[in-house]
Structure 1
Amino acid sequence: MNQVNIIKPSLISLFFLCTLIPLIPIVSYDYHNHQRIIQITFLLITSLLVLTAFLGNKKPAFRLSLNKKSSVLYLIFIFSGCLSALMSMERSFSLLCTFHISLLILTMCCVSTINDKKSILFIIYALLITHTSLILICLLNIIFTLSEQQPLNPYIIYSGFINIRFFNQVQVFILPFLVLLLKFKGIQRVVFIILFLNLLLIFIGQARGALLSFLAFSIFALALKTTLKKQVIIGLVCLALSCITFYALDSLNKGGTEILRTSTSGRVDLWLNTLSSLSIKHLFIGNGPGIFEMSLGNSAPFSHPHNSLIEILNEWGLIALICILTAVFTTFKKAVTHLRSHKKDVITESLFYSFAIGVIYSLFSGVHVMPVSQTLLFIMWGLLLGRINKRNGPLIYISKWGKAIITILFIFGWYFYLQQAISVYNNIDPDSGYIYGPRFWSVGQRE
């Protein structure tokens, strides 16, 4: 099953095209819901390809693209989510979120079958080209803002994004690939300009978590002492230039923005309150995936705690947290081992950094929650696994009756997933405007 690509690079590229370029007509009330609809379509098509490849195998056996230990960890994680959902106050919605994450993990397994250089480069180039188109639109917005002598307002400059953090969450995955392309002298200047614009937009959006993630990635890359060391240093120079440029442009029309503000935007209080609300049951199960909601004072309720570790502990339980942390740590360990013995494998290195920077930023923002960044996180994880897992997984034997049962489970799962997603979507009231939560759709109510 892992001898051929189950999912084609062109399908992944089409996902990038439909979700990142705002010139494509929006199919819902806002850009976030548009991206969620495309994500749901992408996940369902991917799972259909998995089932087709599974049924198309005439032999009564197939190989997993992951090793046995990793497969067990993911199964325990999903089981913990299902158990937490069944015990939650909003059973149907929580099961919807659990199944949604299960489809993302399945997509990651499919993507891990892609390990050839040509296919991976196709995906990376498609991501960079579509995202650069978005960056150039933002550049035009900067020019128009300055020409009108207005302050640098990210809500105007970040084209189409109802929440500016959604924009930054996608950006962090792009930065390591731009650093990789600095290695090619023929396009080095163009790539430097694109990297400069990305970092400038991060400063404009005051995304301190994204800047911290970029610095953490740079320090780790320098410590690893691989062939991208020179390019990482150039990236840090680009970071300094973008910071100077931001302050210079902001001084022209002062907007009162301070990139080095000392407030935590309520995150620390949110984390402490969430941790203090934990009980003995969280050692085994959580409150239910997707149903987190907390208000601080008179502020609008937060729909997630802006920290992936605290969120999983609160919603999925400690067992699930240990399983997913073990899986991520194992991936990191294998990647570092691989890179130390393959110092010129810059493709695997850039995939590792892209996945790592996404994981780091998830500790400060909703990378693991929002549709595009969430899908990117699992796609990069899968591509990285495909490069570092050289051995075939265990051989699993399944009878014809077993295949029939699995097919029925797939069909039942698809029906439940679509039925619940449409049900929650129908609760959307566009006249109410944007509200904080639920996080599956940007506007609406879970019940």
Structure 2
Amino acid sequence: MSLMRCQSVVMVALVLFFFEFCLSAITLWGSSFGWHDQQRIAQLCLIIVCSLSVVFLPQTTFSYKLQMPLVGLFILGFVSVLAAQWPTWAVQEWAHYLGLALLVFTVYGLAQEVWRREFILWALALVGGVHAFQFLVLYSAAFISGVRLLDANLLFGGFSNPRFFGQFQILLLPVLALLLMQCWQRQSRKVGVLLLLVMIVQWCVAIILGGRGLWLGVLLSHVSLVLVNRKFWRLLALQTMAATLGFSFYSLLFKLIPYWLGLEPILRDEIRTGLSGRELLWQWAWDMALANPWLGAGPMHFAATYNPIAAHPHQVILQWLAEWGFPATVLALVLGAWGVVKGAAFLRSSKAAVLDGGLWCAIVGALVLAQVDGVFVMPYTETWLAILIGLAMARCHSVPLIHSRRRVFYLIAVIPVVLVLGQALILQAPALPASERAYMMQYGADWAPRFWQQGWISR
């Protein structure tokens, strides 16, 4: 088979598995898997295909300033895996993060074409549009069915926990706004109105969910964007308008209409002032970090010690300190700070467009939310975040073709990703429903997603 034909086959496979990943938050494929496990399976499939694409597609490279801390980070992580109590679980977490880095790398190279960027962003918007439509259908069904029960907890689908919906929204809302502004600039008013309606419904959902971290992330990301470059004030104004209309829509659906019909809606706790046990998780993570300062307890190993709250610390820096150690966490923070600084510098340049402002808000908002939630734990959110980071990097940096000697490094990185994650898909995924039922019968633990649905490392 010629190289051109191989590249065509790889591109088709990438598109197919990308669609499979998108659909993993829209519809359940069967009764055996829940949302979380289904999304993890789709994520691993997409990562493996993206990793294999390194072998066939023309590849690009990062600068040495980015490559060296990235290589150091994963070398330290692998040493942590070898020293971990449960290395087979630790290596899965390590390989999946390495695979996400390769996903960023793949998107970074492919997104030089404008139509590919548009394709990815509109796919994200389409998922959000379907969720908005499903919400409206479920709301209508609460009245049409004759049951006369309006329970907000029954109006959401796509995620095993409504809070994970909010993680997705932190990426979705800025992308909807940037696409809406692009439509307005291109005189596509009908599509723009449709996007605005989706934004209003999504903000209504965000208010029902009561996601304080989501609200804070959206606010800080948009304010920081305006502080970096005031020309992006329209994105802040648009998001403010959509949030205001979303609150009005929420008041209509869950206050006025139920009042008129004599119903008492069942709502989630909208305003919470406590930390919901996070202060305990953070203290336990910090204690684990101090007990294992150099290499951490091992990737995923916060979930090796059962606690009554959650299998991850709900704070990304403490999670990495506890599991990967201080040196690896410092390298990860250096990479993150480098990306934020480079992004801010690009936003201040004449090349910056509304696309870049929207990507900034999505990525920075997710980083803010990651300080109080498991953004870097849930498969659907972390995969979309990696894709958007790849898009942002493609906008900010030139992408020279990779040299043959440096290509070897990427080929070496592909091997553990394919072997480890392929083994997880082939051997572990089919047995998940049975193993989870057995775990629940033996321990009676609540669901606490980390890698697969049951978040605690099995003994």
Q: TM-score, normalised by structure 1?
A: 0.86
Q: 2:19 aligns with which of 14, 22, 29?
A: 14
Q: Does 1:287 align with 2:297?
A: yes
Q: 1 or 2, which has the higher helix percentage?
A: 2
CA contact (8 A) 1:169 1:367 kept: yes
Q: 2:450 aligns with which of 436, 439, 442?
A: 439
CA contact (8 A) 1:210 1:361 kept: yes
Q: 2:273 aligns with which of 255, 262, 267?
A: 262
Q: Does 1:348 align with 2:356?
A: yes
After superposition, the C-alpha distances for 1:190-215 in whole angstroms (9 at most, x for unaligned) are: 22221111111111112111111111
CA contact (8 A) 2:76 2:328 kept: yes
Which residue identity is paired with 1:337?
A
Question: Number of matched residues?
Answer: 426
1:343–1:391 CA distance, 2 compared to 1 (3 A):
closer
1:74–1:368 CA distance, 2 compared to 1 (3 A):
same
In structure 2, what is the equivalent of residue 150 of structure 1? 149
CA contact (8 A) 2:209 2:268 kept: no
CA distance in 2, matches of 1:94, 1:313: 15
Q: Does 1:385 align with 2:421?
A: no
Q: What do you get for the CA RMSD once the two structures are aligned? A: 2.9
SS at match of 1:169: helix
After superposition, the C-alpha distances for 1:265-310 in whole angstroms (9 at most, x for unaligned) are: 111222123213432631x2111111213666xxx34111111111
CA drift at 1:129: 1.2
CA distance in 2, matches of 1:304, 1:418: 24
After superposition, the C-alpha distances for 1:344-376 in whole angstroms (9 at most, x for unaligned) are: 512222222222212221112111111111111
CA drift at 1:27: 7.5
1:198–1:12 CA distance, 2 compared to 1 (3 A):
farther
1:423–1:323 CA distance, 2 compared to 1 (3 A):
same
CA contact (8 A) 1:303 1:436 kept: no
1:350–1:407 CA distance, 2 compared to 1 (3 A):
closer
Q: Greater shift after overlay, 333-342 or 158-167?
A: 158-167
SS at match of 2:24: helix
In structure 2, what is the equivalent of residue 34 of structure 1? 38
CA contact (8 A) 1:304 1:311 kept: yes
In structure 2, what is the equivalent of residue 196 of structure 1? 200
Q: Greater shift after overlay, 373-382 or 417-426?
A: 417-426
CA drift at 1:256: 5.6
Which residue identity is paired with 1:240?
T
CA contact (8 A) 1:92 1:420 kept: no
CA distance in 1, matches of 2:346, 2:244: 31
Where in structure 1 are there 5+ consecutive unaligned residues? 55-62
Q: Greater shift after overlay, 144-153 or 27-36?
A: 144-153
1:212–1:86 CA distance, 2 compared to 1 (3 A):
same
Q: Greater shift after overlay, 329-338 or 5-14?
A: 5-14
Q: Does 1:137 align with 2:146?
A: no
CA drift at 1:45: 0.8
Q: 1:111 aligns with which of 107, 114, 119?
A: 107
CA drift at 1:53: 3.4
In structure 1, what is the equivalent of residue 125 of structure 2? 128
Q: Does 1:71 align with 2:67?
A: yes
CA distance in 2, matches of 1:210, 1:438: 19
CA drift at 1:86: 1.2
CA distance in 2, matches of 1:149, 1:266: 35
CA contact (8 A) 2:39 2:379 kept: yes
1:223–1:350 CA distance, 2 compared to 1 (3 A):
same
CA distance in 2, matches of 1:158, 1:258: 15
CA drift at 1:389: 0.8
CA distance in 2, matches of 1:364, 1:412: 31
CA distance in 1, matches of 2:242, 2:421: 44
In structure 2, what is the equivalent of residue 93 of structure 1? 89
Which residue identity is paired with 1:39?
Q
CA contact (8 A) 1:13 1:127 kept: no
1:50–1:35 CA distance, 2 compared to 1 (3 A):
same
In structure 2, what is the equivalent of residue 59 of structure 1? none
SS at match of 1:278: helix
CA distance in 1, matches of 2:449, 2:271: 30
CA distance in 1, matches of 2:333, 2:207: 31
1:295–1:411 CA distance, 2 compared to 1 (3 A):
closer
Alignment of 1:217-236 (within 5 A): 217-236=221-240
CA distance in 2, matches of 1:179, 1:407: 38
SS at match of 2:458: coil
CA distance in 2, matches of 1:326, 1:429: 38
CA contact (8 A) 1:180 1:228 kept: no
State the percentage of identical aligned residues: 22
CA drift at 1:35: 1.2
Q: Greater shift after overlay, 386-395 or 425-434?
A: 425-434
In structure 1, what is the equivalent of residue 3 of structure 2? none
After superposition, the C-alpha distances for 1:52-81 in whole angstroms (9 at most, x for unaligned) are: 237xxxxxxxx7521111111111111121
CA drift at 1:385: 0.8
After superposition, the C-alpha distances for 1:107-130 in whole angstroms (9 at most, x for unaligned) are: 111111122322111110111112
CA drift at 1:104: 0.8
Which residue identity is paired with 1:69?
K
CA contact (8 A) 2:151 2:266 kept: yes
CA distance in 1, matches of 2:449, 2:85: 15
1:315–1:338 CA distance, 2 compared to 1 (3 A):
same
CA drift at 1:410: 4.3
